[in-house]
Amino acid sequence: MSEKNTFSDEETAVLKDLAKAETDKRNEEEHQKKEDDRIFYDKQVEWYSVLAEASVTTRFERDRQLLTIAALAIGALITLKSDIDKDFLTLGFWLLSAISFMVTIIVCLNIFQKNTELLEALIAETAEPDRKHERQRLDAALGLRDKIMYFSFIFGIILMFAFAIKGLGISLYFNS
């Protein structure tokens, strides 16, 4: 004879309650894990957003500072124009320095305009991923303009320094 294991109604109810509690616990854990994952993802997005904003702000701030300093340098050069005398070397330093600072200003203003186009391209790329080449082209163009602006500014500073040394009559490498 085989013994049949049967549970009483009370035992069946207890087993159902235990199974339901276990299922509820698993559902709660899964829900909590999904919530934790969502929070983690949101934190990652926020962190990326802060980094991107800081990067853009820093880059714009550097460009604005170069623009301001280049404009001030041109003003200083105009003020020092009376020190040119009739020396061709001094005039050359003054003129090349002024041109370098003008190039810095013109390229910087162009960078501001291209930055706007790049942001628009980024927004368009988000909507239409096949427009990635446009953003890459603008990125490369901005990188080149950034280098031109930076080196033009440095060249202008060096020439302005040489002009100041020559104008002061200090003869390091220049014969008077």
Question: Running DSSP on this structure, what letter comes out for residue 169?
Answer: T
88-121 tens-digit pLDDT: 888 888 899 999 999 999 999 998 888 888 777 7
State the sign of the Cα–Cα–Cα–Cα dihedral 21, 25, 26, 31: positive
Q: List the chain domain ranges.
A: 9-168
Contact yes or no for 166/90 (Cβ under 8 A): yes
Q: What are 109's two structure tokens?
A: 């203003």
- pTM, two decimals, is 0.64
* Range 9-168 classified under CATH 1.20.120: yes
pLDDT score for 173: 55
Q: Which residue has the tokens 């309650």?
A: 17
